[in-house]
Each structure stands twice: as C-alpha cells, then as structure tokens.
C-alpha cells in the first residue's frame, strides 16, 4: 500500500473519531470533556485538508484534472438545484457512479470538491461543511472500493453490478444520515430531554438516545427519501453514465522510456565503409602483348 493510501486511512480514522465524539467523550476525564466538541470541529477540517494535499499528486494529469473539474461543476449544480427539497440528494448518484468508474481516490476528491463548491455557490458554509465534505468523500471512495466483476462486458455482470451499486447507494444514504446526525446530536437536542446526550451516561444509554433521535429526525424521512432518490437514479441513468465514463477512462500520457544503450544494442547498425579484409582484391588487367 502506498503512502497516500495510508494517509487516506489514517485521516479517515481521525475524522471518524471527530464524527463520533459524543460516544467517545465518556472516556475523557471530566475536566476535559468540554473540549471534546471543539477538538472534533478542529480535526475534521484539518483531516480533510491533509487528504486533499496528499492526493493532489495522485490526480495530476491533465485529463484527470479536466474530468474532475467537469464532474465537480455538474455535481455542484445538481446539489444546488436540489437544495431545500427534503432528502433529495441526487448528487449521490454522480458520486457513486464516478467513484465506481474511476476509483476510490477520484471518488473521494470528487465528493470533497463537490460539497466545497456547492457550499460556496449556495452560501451554505458552516460548522457542518467539513463533516459533509468528509462524509460525501467517503460515499465516492466507497463506490470505488466495491468488488469488481469478471467479464464486465457481459449482460449478467452489468446487471449484478447495477444491483450492487443500488444496494450500496441505499446503505450509503442511511450511513451518511447517521454520521451527520451523530456529531450534531448534542447541539441539536440540548439537555434535559429523554433523547439528550449525557457525558456521564453509559455508552449503551447514549446509543439508545441517539438511535431514537436519528430515527425520528432523519432516518424515516430525509434518509429514506435520499435512498429512494439514489436507487431510482442509478437504475435509470446508471448504465448509460457508467458506459460514458468508462469510454472516457482516465489514463495518463503513455511515455516510452528511453534506453541508455547505444542503438542496436551496442552492435553496428550502419554499413561499414572500411574495406573487408576477406574481400577479393580487384583484378589488375595485364598489359596487352600487342602493345
């Protein structure tokens, strides 16, 4: 595994800890628990920036940059157009299909850039933005890590691939909602309710409170609509979009390395102008006897 892959794994683990700070804060001493939300809000954008810098060299060819820019603009436009409609996240369709076609690194960068650009255009920048950037990056990267099918050109393989992407889209829709709820849950509910976060409560109690909060606020509504939208979108446009993306498969310029050996592998490749030692000497005409 290359160092960039390790950096992606490490930064993702750190960011996941930032998402799950309400469940991890119980293990922190009481005098430091108040700093847990602040640390979480700091490490997630830092991890996202570290990932962007580490993957920059992996996506440095002109074709890749152009394709990434085009798909980012499309994703941002789709997300802005769907803003305000509860749970409709058509951008998930693009992230999943592009991540499947071009791999985990490309999918991760596309998710990050799409959320960043759409947040700037829409004016929706806030403390939630770094968390959305990372969560959508994971959605695109996860599609690139799904198992591949042999003989992908056959009809059966394409059908099973579509089923796999639909199942992944449903799971990703619900997991995305859970992650986005988890870090924000203590701020959204406050204290003194039956589903409030309590730093002194056991882990099981906090998990039960969070599960009820998430079920009522988003799982049955926003997340379900997102899952349905993603499923319908992949079934309708998935085959055509995947085929188009794969036809424009990202490949860097093919460079043939220059050999350090002399032409011909060290052997003479041009005809020698020196006289061959074995060549017959030209016959000298004898003087005529009649002269």
Which of the two residues, 275 and 77, has the higher pLDDT score?
77
CB 114 within 8 A of CB 91: yes
* pLDDT higher than 50, residue 32: no
CB 185 within 8 A of CB 210: yes
What was the pLDDT predicted at 212?
92
* pLDDT higher than 60, residue 149: yes
* pLDDT higher than 50, residue 127: yes
Name all domains of the chain by residue range, CATH numbers in brackets: 61-247 (1.10.1760.20)
* Over residues 172-201, mean pLDDT: 86
pLDDT-derived band of residue 267, with 50, 70 and 90 as boundaries? low
Distance CA(22)–CA(40), nearest Å, equals 10
Q: Is the dihedral of CA 223, 228, 233, 235 positive or negative?
A: positive
* pLDDT higher than 90, residue 44: no
* Over residues 110-134, mean pLDDT: 85
Helix/strand/coil for 281? coil
**Which pTM does this prediction carry?**
0.77
pLDDT-derived band of residue 256, with 50, 70 and 90 as boundaries? very low
Q: Which of 114, 242, 128, 229 is nearest to 174 (CA)?
A: 229
pLDDT-derived band of residue 206, with 50, 70 and 90 as boundaries? confident
- Range with lowest mean pLDDT among 2-11, 160-169, 175-184: 2-11
What was the pLDDT predicted at 291?
47
What was the pLDDT predicted at 255?
44
pLDDT-derived band of residue 50, with 50, 70 and 90 as boundaries? low
- CA 121 to each of CA 34, 56, 66, 73, 124: distance values in angstroms, whole numbers, following the listed order: 34, 23, 20, 11, 8
Question: CB under 8 Å to 263, separation ≥6 — which residues?
Answer: 269
Distance CA(259)–CA(276), nearest Å, equals 31
pLDDT-derived band of residue 153, with 50, 70 and 90 as boundaries? low
What was the pLDDT predicted at 75?
92
């Amino acid at each position: 595994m290359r160092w960039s892959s390790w950096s992606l794994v490490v930064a993702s683990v750190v960011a996941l800890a930032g998402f799950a700070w309400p469940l991890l804060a119980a293990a922190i001493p009481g005098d430091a628990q108040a700093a847990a939300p602040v640390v979480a809000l700091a490490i997630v954008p830092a991890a996202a920036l570290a990932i962007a810098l580490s993957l920059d060299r992996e996506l440095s060819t002109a074709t890749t940059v152009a394709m990434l820019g085009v798909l980012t603009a499309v994703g941002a436009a789709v997300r802005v157009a769907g803003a305000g409609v509860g749970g409709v996240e058509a951008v998930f369709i693009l992230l999943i299909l592009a991540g499947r076609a071009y791999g985990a690194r490309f999918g991760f960068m596309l998710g990050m850039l799409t959320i960043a650009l759409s947040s700037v255009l829409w004016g929706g920048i806030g403390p939630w933005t770094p968390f959305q950037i990372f969560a959508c990056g994971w959605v695109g990267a996860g599609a690139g890590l799904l198992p591949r099918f042999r003989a992908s050109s056959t009809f059966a393989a394409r059908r099973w691939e579509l089923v796999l992407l639909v199942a992944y889209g449903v799971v990703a829709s619900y997991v995305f909602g859970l992650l986005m709820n988890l870090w924000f849950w203590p701020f959204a509910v406050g204290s003194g309710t039956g589903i409030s976060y309590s730093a002194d409560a056991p882990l099981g109690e906090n998990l039960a409170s969070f599960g009820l909060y998430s079920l009522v606020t988003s799982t049955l509504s926003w997340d379900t609509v997102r899952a349905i939208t993603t499923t319908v979108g992949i079934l309708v446009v998935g085959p055509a979009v995947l085929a188009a993306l794969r036809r424009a498969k990202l490949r860097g310029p093919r460079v043939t390395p220059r050999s350090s050996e002399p032409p011909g592998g060290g052997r003479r490749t041009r005809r020698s102008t020196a006289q061959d030692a074995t060549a017959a000497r030209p016959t000298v005409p004898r003087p005529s006897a009649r002269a």
